[in-house]
A and B are shown apart, each in its own frame.
Chain A
């Protein structure tokens, strides 16, 4: 049987790994290549790398005792893919088919598209036709405004006319292979996923939905898997502060009876 997935999300801002809250506040967590090595050993099911830089400045010079200076997100991804032996989704600032081709050639298995898809729906179709649905993830950032869910673009800064359910159905029909669903209100708040949002979207589409935003304890992962039809649970911040975090989360889910990969081959 196919398993539900547990996915760490790594946010990169100007080349640094960061923690995010409400898409507004950021804290530097260090070198992204070190982080992927750590998470790889801890048996995540997949990794998602999102470039949330607002400008094209990448600098991890402060780590130059161990790593050469990087100047682009692509170079960081190329480095990361040498250290990772699991599926990797890469997203952020994707604006054309060349961007996708480049990321796939550097070792990404899927790409995550957000603002560009909202600007130009045909881009989803073109990407799916060119590279296959299996590598097209559409990321949806939802926010509650005046009591209604609204899809936001441009890193959460701009309102669109879509509600998440309607937009999810649209991207599915255009050939997206997967949806990464993020709640801006819950981002970094540690109060759990927005279960209503997850349930509504995962009921509306057949393609896998990845839940994101709000995890503050392992039980939040289990809640989403037990109460909604999401195919994967993702989080960022929680994985960075606890030793062996992915392993412990996975073990918890397995023991809770969730349909995840068992821990038999996990390292000590």
Chain B
């Protein structure tokens, strides 16, 4: 009965859609219908650091450089760039055709104003921490920007590859309209946004980066990923971003749908708090690292969708895992380490995880709980609402935490906040030693790629051995699409920037 109703309604609905398409011609119909489960939290590219905001804003705003699908740095607003030999001065040439959505050219003055805004403490840009190395910015001509840095700083370039360092109009900064109006230079122009509900973007015909094959994007926010799957199946959505591996694995099984996936840089990790009780003992932390079967956690919590990783998740720097401390589960060794530390009988601790962030957090906590009980560590799981979790996390008010932390293509930009003596989040990591600090400093200054790799491999091996955290694995970024959507390339950052190259071939 209800089947018939839905069917007949569907048919009528289809007829209506067909007739409107016929009336409006072809040009109207090619807005790509996009769905995701978490929406942006705001429109100011310098302030919004949530991943859900970044992937939305980078469709409209552009930084000077960006990362391609292999995490290599490629031109965005800057067409070319050059470090001086000491890596203290970075000179960038802007791309000639770069224009803002209102038609005005992107100038070095806009670049300078944008970075001055990021560095202005009154603005409250969290990305400021990445750019405090800038001592001054010169604009010698109307195509060139020169960044003068306070010392050798090779990773500075990767830090620029973020929409949190997007170039906005100097005039918009002056008018105070950043965050309420969106005038970027990216492949899509802002049309409308209703938070947690929907957004519409139109293709930027004058985009300097090339031609955008679709007319625009109709984005809907469907908070539950199983409903995104339903929407894909019923062809109400052309392209969807999926976080939950359980939902993602169902997509290739549905006819007419395909799944694009790419390994990402962000990593699932068991954060230990080395300032808490038994965790102050290195041997206890090592025992935990040995007791955890990373592949087993991955197989259960993510249905095997991912790969076990060491601290460095970028392929260019990663150390082979057989060289990392205890990367194969070794319960014998774990028990022995526990005994040596004086905890042969184990101990009780809490482990916190955020509800639904990542979707697999509760499962991970449960498998870890089961695995650690093998060496006498009894964990109590505390699931916390995301903001409550963040609150505790920032205060380092936890024994252990299940986390999904963001990754960067450069080890220094990725970890200086945690594993340097003056890192902003050192108080969260709660562990530092001279080796880590000096290796980071060397990595920052070294320009030679081979030597850098060597430095960071030592860093990684040491980090895995002192085990302040237990690195687990990286997952995938998933995009589920209809068969007729072509050209999307997922990236290791989970960026949706590839939508600029997508075409619809019905």
Partners in one complex: no
Residues of B within 8 A of A (CB): none
Residues of A within 8 A of B (CB): none
